[in-house]
Amino acid sequence: MGRLDGKVAIVTGSAQGIGAAYALGMAREGARIVVADLLDGQSTVAAVQAAGSKAIFIKTDVTDQAQCDAMAKAAKDRFGAVDILLNNAAIFGSIVMKPFMEYSAAEFMKVLEVNVLGQFQCMKAVFPYMKNKGGKIINVGSSSINEGVPGMPHYVASKGAIMALTRSMAREMGDFKINVNTIAPGFTHSDGGNNFDKNKQMDIPPLEELQLNARCIKREAVPEDLIGVALFLATDDSAFITGQMIVHDGGLSFH
């Protein structure tokens, strides 16, 4: 019997990479999955079905509130509930690291729009389906807010904002028995991250090399490393935990 039997989980940005790993990990514990992404998520749907659970793909732009609302409604219509939201969709792999003076306001605001507003709008979308019975919201931040990574100020700022947003939403949602927490990974090998350093415009070592040397646990991080923390925050094991950030970077940074 799985720890998430009977639960319905929306995982944004789950067509590939870390998001797909989150979705598959929850499916293996019995959750039915809504794969929400701008990219085609049918491969994740197939993986979930192969794992013995059920899934649907809903094409979703998290910067559009109407699409977020439609995503949540589709979960309720198909599976009868929305129990878990894992806010994973973000801009990361396409970022070109460069000196901060070279970033335009438009570049900066686009990352905040996807990474922060997107998570906020997804939380708004699922709230009507959670407010009468409780639920679990898991936001994906980054340990970069502890490190101060150069060359990507908009990304680091967005992830800092997610932690602040998590605390605020935990206060507002607590009376509805909704837990809101953040996972803060370090650099993780994935579809989005593997090409991250190829187009950088700064004379610094690869991000993975910098992080690997500074970690207490000196090995590469892979998406599967993150599943256990997500499951903990999605189950009743974390019923009395809210407004918190769990740093998951192999001991790169301490919080």
In a domain, 68, yes or no: yes
In a domain, 3, yes or no: no
CA angle 244, 58, 88 (to 5 degrees): 25
- Token pair of 104, please? 């335009």
- Tell me the mean pLDDT in the region 183-188: 88
State the residue range of the domain holding 151. 8-248
- pLDDT for res 211: 73
In a domain, 255, yes or no: no
More confident: 228 or 92:
228
Q: Is the pLDDT of residue 46 over 70?
A: yes
- pLDDT for res 90: 96
Q: Is the pLDDT of residue 193 over 80?
A: no
**pTM recorded for the entire structure:** 0.94
In a domain, 45, yes or no: yes
In a domain, 207, yes or no: yes
Catalytic residue status for 155: yes
Lowest mean pLDDT among 14-23, 25-34, 94-103, 156-165: 94-103
Rounded CA gap, 125 and 103, in Å?
A: 31
- pLDDT for res 191: 65
First to last CA, the chain: 34
- pLDDT for res 195: 62
List Cβ neighbours of 154 (8 Å cut-off, separation of 6 or more).
95, 103, 107, 108, 109, 110, 111, 112
Band (pLDDT 50/70/90 cuts) for residue 1 is: confident
- pLDDT for res 222: 87
Report CA-CA distances (Å) from 75 to 51, 54, 182, 196: 19, 12, 22, 33
In a domain, 150, yes or no: yes
- pLDDT for res 197: 62
In a domain, 76, yes or no: yes
More confident: 32 or 95:
32
3-state secondary structure of 56: strand
CATH of the domain at 144: 3.40.50.720
DSSP 58-85: EE--TT-HHHHHHHHHHHHHHHS---EE
Q: What is the pLDDT of residues 47-101, one digit of tens each?
A: 999 999 999 999 999 999 999 999 999 999 999 999 999 999 999 878 888 999 9
- Tell me the mean pLDDT in the region 20-32: 98
What is the DSSP code (8-state) at residue 194? T
Band (pLDDT 50/70/90 cuts) for residue 24 is: very high
What is the count of structural domains for the chain?
Answer: 1
Choice among 22, 103, 129, 155 that is catalytic: 155
